[in-house]
Amino acid sequence: MVTKEYIQELKRKNFEELYRLIRETQESRELFFILENLGYLPNGFKGEVFVPLIVHLNDSVRFWAVKNLGKISNPDFIGLLLRTAKYDKDSMVRREAVSSIGRMRTQQTIPYLIELLDDSDPKVVLQAIRGLLVFKTNIEAQKALRNLENHPNEMVQSVIRREFSQNHNSKNQQPHPSSPDFMKNVVVHGDVREILRHVPDESVHLTFTSPPYYNARDYAIYESYKAYLDFLMEVFSEVHRVTKEGRFLIVNTSPIIIPRMSRSHASKRYPIPFDLHARLGESGWEFIDDLVWLKPETCVKNRNAGFLQHRKPLGYKPNAVTEYLMVYRKETEKLLDWNIHQYSWKAVEESKVNGEYETSNVWKIDPAFDSVHTAVFPIALCNRVVEFYSYKGDLVFDPFGGSGTLGKAANNLGRYFFLTEQEEKYFERMKENLTTLDAVKLHQPRFLKVDEFKLLNQGENDGHNN
């Protein structure tokens, strides 16, 4: 039986014996083992030994033959690799063949890689792009790459746009970590859609919110489910405008049930997170993660009573112990590292999440109750979101502020809050909850009507224009 050590020894001392071994090994698994363990191939090693294996019946043998041919970096093999990339029956072998051509990093590969940009497998196209990007300044390569800007595959599109996009000209000249002073620790009473008209582009770092649940409470009555989703999208499109480049929106929702009208009617369940998700994806929000908020079963409405008695299939109704926190990022060609690099070393150090933290996407947190508001965030949930998705000094926004839980968390963690709420009684509740906060002296909490907020915005603009 050939061992890894023996292969390495032959590589050092006896190429001829190694060639013989590769040529004469019949058993596919053994041959695959040898090819897989060849590692780096020294100068003088002849790639011809791999050529017959390019048509071997075993997919893994062909894959490793192609990979090893790529290591040789001999342009004589480009044609053979191109044929493999185009016609091999196994997609992994085809992708590896393109990658092997790319790794040769010689100008001779350019026309071959351009030919592969027409492949029907997006991964082949992506490998060919990778190879061509080495020659990004070559006119032919650049022309072919730019032609892919409207390629049907979204990953191809995004890579090309990222490589060739002009630098993003932010509409807001403010440095990324800053936000408008007139919005810091401010709560505005009114319809969020109206208030947002007076908020400048790209001024908010993070939005975390729990929207009103469709027709479940007094403050959430809509003409139809479609009207409800349209309303939410009106809000989240504006949130998109006011969010800084590459920053996050986290929406807490769960499917909701509207009880039956009478015993002769059925209840109806609305999949809010999923319907909203489809719309957010189409309006410039990139899906990042789905976090599941898990509550103890004793804290949720019991839907099991009927089934517990009758045990008839189809009548099963599980207790809903979860809600979603859907995480989105404002679409950008820039990587998360770009966002992080906008902050000073000190700000990054001070914002680090130290100690133990939740490593999974299931967050076990008890629900919270409030004497005035019927559907409040637990502070522990807000604390986690604020810590994981913002930096100290950031501006954190809740368009559906309710009792102001997010404001408390933001303040506790050295961030500023900006909250809007349309119901008078909840606005008053926020006053109670947020005035006593140990807020930054310069930015004591302010509770404003829409007109007052509008004036502040104008004042800040005038100040900047002077």
Q: What are the C-alpha distances in Å from 328 to residues 106, 125, 348?
A: 40, 27, 22
> Using the rule CB under 6 A, which residue among 277, 373, 384, 415 binds ligand SAM?
373
Q: Do the beta carbons of residue 65 and residue 50 sit within 8 Å?
A: yes
> Residue 214, interface with ligand SAM (CB under 6 A)?
no
What is the number of the residue whose Cβ is closest to ligand SAM? 402
Residue for token pair 């369940």: 269
Least separation in angstroms between CB 247 and ligand SAM: 19
> Residue 90, interface with ligand SAM (CB under 6 A)?
no
141-145's contacts with Cβ under 8 Å and 24+ in sequence apart are 141/110, 141/113, 141/114, 144/114, 144/117, 145/117
Least separation in angstroms between CB 86 and ligand SAM: 56
Nearest one of 199, 196, 200 to 173, comparing CA atoms: 200
> Residue 426, interface with ligand SAM (CB under 6 A)?
yes
Helices (H), 342-404: 345-351, 379-389
Of 270 and 343, which has the nearer Cβ to ligand SAM?
Answer: 270
- With 0-12 / 13-18 / 19 or more C-beta atoms within 10 angstroms meaning exposed / middle / buried, residue 63 is buried
How many whole angstroms separate alpha carbon 201 and alpha carbon 237?
12
Q: Mark 183-212 with x for binding to ligand SAM (rule: CB under 6 A) and - for no binding.
A: --------xx-----------------x-x
> Using the rule CB under 6 A, which residue among 422, 439, 448, 456 binds ligand SAM?
422
> Residue 134, interface with ligand SAM (CB under 6 A)?
no
Helix, strand or coil, per DSSP, at residue 327: strand
Q: Where are the beta strands (DSSP E) in 192-284?
A: 204-209, 243-253, 256-258, 268-270
Per CB under 6 A, the segment of 27-35, 279-287, 348-356, 375-383 that binds ligand SAM is 375-383
Q: Which residues, 6 or more positions from 21, have their beta carbon under 8 angstroms from its beta carbon?
A: 2, 10, 34
Q: What are the C-alpha distances in Å from 62 to residues 42, 53, 108, 423?
A: 21, 6, 24, 68
Per CB under 6 A, the segment of 254-262, 336-344, 372-380, 448-456 that binds ligand SAM is 372-380
Of 112 and 400, which has the nearer Cβ to ligand SAM?
Answer: 400
> Residue 219, interface with ligand SAM (CB under 6 A)?
yes
Q: Which residues, 6 or more positions from 8, have their beta carbon under 8 angstroms from its beta carbon?
A: 39
> Using the rule CB under 6 A, which residue among 328, 420, 439, 445 binds ligand SAM?
420
How many whole angstroms separate alpha carbon 135 and alpha carbon 132?
5
> Residue 423, interface with ligand SAM (CB under 6 A)?
yes
Per CB under 6 A, the segment of 168-176, 338-346, 418-426, 438-446 that binds ligand SAM is 418-426
Least separation in angstroms between CB 189 and ligand SAM: 9
Per CB under 6 A, the segment of 128-136, 264-272, 344-352, 402-410 that binds ligand SAM is 402-410
Least separation in angstroms between CB 399 and ligand SAM: 6
Largest CA distance in the chain: 87
Q: Is beta strand 285-294 parallel, antiparallel or unpaired with respect to 322-330?
A: antiparallel
> Residue 433, interface with ligand SAM (CB under 6 A)?
no
Per CB under 6 A, the segment of 83-91, 113-121, 129-137, 374-382 that binds ligand SAM is 374-382
> Residue 331, interface with ligand SAM (CB under 6 A)?
no
> Residue 421, interface with ligand SAM (CB under 6 A)?
yes
> Residue 375, interface with ligand SAM (CB under 6 A)?
yes
> Residue 376, interface with ligand SAM (CB under 6 A)?
yes
Centroid of chain to Cα 211? 21
- Positive or negative, the Cα torsion across 8, 10, 14, 17? negative
Which chain residues interact with ligand SAM by CB under 6 A? 191-192, 210, 212, 219, 373, 375-377, 400, 402-403, 405, 420-423, 426
